[in-house]
């Protein structure tokens, strides 16, 4: 599971995904356009592309993009 | 089999408007502009205290008769979809038969569905027509969710609007199947995700308390509660499959569908469905900015505008899908 692709897939869920900077160590909740709808979008993306079920609670336990990456990578 | 067609559609929006400026005044801490740009909703119409779903339905029906020069004595069946009826009993449809001066030989019934209601109504109408029980069916959808929404519930206030739609469905002796085959789905395990808990017979007394999540209003059991995340998840993961099965059932290929008109829940949800179901933007119709999510009336209102704008022409194949409270889904293909 490629880190760069995951980062790009993650960024795409943001309404301003083209213009923001997101790295693996970014605390995603601090991004201006992060909200619960973006969170739901991320969950759907992970199911669609990585075929992994991630719940709202699982996301709550993550702080950085890398936390989410690790969660998914561990389940594949 | 006697085929059936949608002949005419009209709709009615109550006069009071709740726009984003008012929402902002009521909830200064709520970023109304941000939410509106994501939900695609800028204005909703709200029934006043004395206006019931029966009143809205009455007005929509009268508009239908007036705008299309319809002789009301041809109506032989009235279907009324609502989750906020005038009374527990008698049936609001029976009262509407009287108010609309429909023939006493008319059949009439209420049915309780929300977002999937219009599509279900077409299914029932098709059944009545194909079995020879009726030939000119008046399908009324009317909803006043505003009466169930708590004054502090800013999210639901942003999304839902009141409205009624009137649709005339007629028997068609030609070979054209104006209303195609249906795909249904029901998952009652998700019932709790969109619910008004108190007031009916499971829990009669209105003893709800305001429950907060930090500063944010979460729920009060006397009022409408919607778990947005669960509803979103259900829709995102189930509706694309429903669409696919419906297209197959109608012996069509996806490219043969000219227009997709979904239940107009909110723009964000609609775009998620569109992307997951690989529907091109130009074939995906959206209309909700000035009326919001009007529950069972979103599809007929959208169809009305799509027809007016020429997005639906003679021979167009339109896939419609309703999904939501219940949890309940239904889809079919219409040929105009």
pLDDT surpasses 90 at B202: yes
Calculate the average pLDDT of chain B.
96
Q: How many CB atoms lie within 10 A of CB B244?
A: 15
User: In this structure, are strands B317-324 and B16-19 parallel, antiparallel, or unpaired?
Assistant: unpaired
Q: What mean pLDDT do residues B106-119 have?
A: 98
Q: How many CB atoms lie within 10 A of CB B11?
A: 25
DSSP B131-189: TTS-SEEEEEEEE-GGGGS-TT-HHHHHHB--EEEEEEEEEE-SS--SEEEEEEEE-GG
Chain A residues with CB-CB distance to B228 below 8 A? 36
Centroid of chain to Cα B211? 29
Rounded to two decimals, what is the model's pTM? 0.93
Pick the most confident of A55-59, B97-101, B153-157.
Answer: B97-101
pLDDT single digits (tens) A17-47: 888 889 999 999 999 888 888 899 999 999 9
- Looking at residue A19, its pLDDT comes to 86
pLDDT single digits (tens) B207-243: 999 999 888 899 999 999 999 989 999 999 999 999 9
Q: In this prediction, what percent of chain A has a pLDDT beyond 90?
A: 63
Q: Is B4 helix (H, G, I), strand (E, B) or coil?
A: strand
Sign, CA torsion B13/B15/B16/B19: positive
Chain B residues with CB-CB distance to A40 below 8 A? 229, 232-233, 236
Residue of B nearest to A57 (CA): B229
Using CA atoms of B33, A47, A76, A28 in order, give the dihedral in degrees to the nearest 10: 0
- Looking at residue B69, its pLDDT comes to 97
Cα(B38)–Cα(B233) distance, rounded to whole angstroms? 17
pLDDT single digits (tens) B292-302: 999 999 999 99
Closest residue to A37, CB basis, from B237, B268, B276: B268
Are the beta carbons of B143 and B52 closer than 8 angstroms?
no
Q: What mean pLDDT do residues B34-47 have?
A: 88
Q: What mean pLDDT do residues A34-63 have?
A: 90
- Looking at residue B185, its pLDDT comes to 97
pLDDT single digits (tens) B122-181: 999 999 999 999 999 999 999 999 999 999 999 899 999 999 999 999 999 887 889 999
| CB proximity under 8 Å: B 232-261 to A | 232-233, 236-237
What confidence category does residue B291 fall into, taking pLDDT thresholds of 50, 70 and 90? very high
- Looking at residue B222, its pLDDT comes to 98
Q: In this prediction, what percent of chain B has a pLDDT beyond 90?
A: 90
Closest residue to B236, CB basis, from A15, A44, A56: A44
| CB proximity under 8 Å: B 7-66 to A | 34, 38
- Looking at residue B247, its pLDDT comes to 98
How far B295 CA lies from chain A's nearest CA (Å)? 20
């Amino acid at each position: 599971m490629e880190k760069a692709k995951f980062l790009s897939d993650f960024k795409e869920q943001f309404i301003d995904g083209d213009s923001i900077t997101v790295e693996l160590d970014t605390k995603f909740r601090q991004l201006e356009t992060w909200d619960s709808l973006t969170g739901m979008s991320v969950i759907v993306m992970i199911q669609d592309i990585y075929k992994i079920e991630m719940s709202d609670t699982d996301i709550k336990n993550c702080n950085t993009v890398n936390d989410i990456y690790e969660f998914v990578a561990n389940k594949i | 089999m006697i085929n059936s067609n949608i002949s005419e559609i009209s709709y009615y929006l109550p006069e009071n408007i709740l726009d984003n400026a008012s929402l902002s005044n009521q909830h200064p801490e709520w970023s109304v502009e941000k939410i509106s740009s994501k939900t695609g909703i800028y204005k909703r119409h709200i029934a006043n205290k004395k206006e019931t779903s029966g009143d809205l339905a009455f007005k929509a029906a009268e508009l239908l008769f007036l705008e299309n020069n319809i002789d009301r004595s041809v109506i032989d069946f009235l279907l009324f979809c609502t989750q906020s009826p005038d009374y527990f009993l008698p049936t609001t449809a029976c009262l509407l038969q009287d108010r609309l001066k429909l023939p006493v030989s008319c059949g009439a019934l209420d049915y309780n569905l929300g977002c999937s209601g219009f599509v279900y109504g077409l299914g029932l109408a098709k059944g009545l027509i194909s079995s020879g029980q009726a030939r000119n069916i008046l399908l009324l959808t009317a909803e006043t969710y505003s009466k169930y929404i708590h004054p502090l519930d800013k999210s639901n206030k942003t999304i839902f609007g009141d409205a009624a739609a009137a649709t005339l469905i007629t028997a068609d002796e030609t070979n054209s199947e104006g209303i195609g085959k249906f795909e249904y789905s029901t998952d009652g395990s998700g019932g709790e995700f969109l619910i008004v808990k108190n007031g009916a017979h499971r829990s009669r007394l209105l003893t709800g308390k305001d429950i907060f999540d930090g500063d944010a209003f979460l729920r009060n059991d006397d009022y409408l509660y919607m778990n947005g995340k669960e509803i979103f998840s259900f829709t995102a993961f189930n509706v694309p499959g429903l669409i696919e099965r419906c297209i197959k059932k109608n012996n069509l290929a996806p490219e043969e569908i000219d227009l997709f008109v979904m239940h107009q829940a909110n723009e964000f949800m609609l775009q998620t469905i569109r992307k997951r179901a690989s529907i091109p933007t130009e074939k995906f119709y959206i209309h909700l900015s000035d009326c919001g999510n009007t529950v069972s009336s979103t599809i007929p209102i959208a169809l009305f505008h799509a027809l007016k704008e020429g997005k639906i022409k003679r021979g167009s194949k339109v896939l419609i899908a309703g999904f939501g409270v219940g949890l309940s889904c239904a889809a079919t293909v219409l040929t105009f």
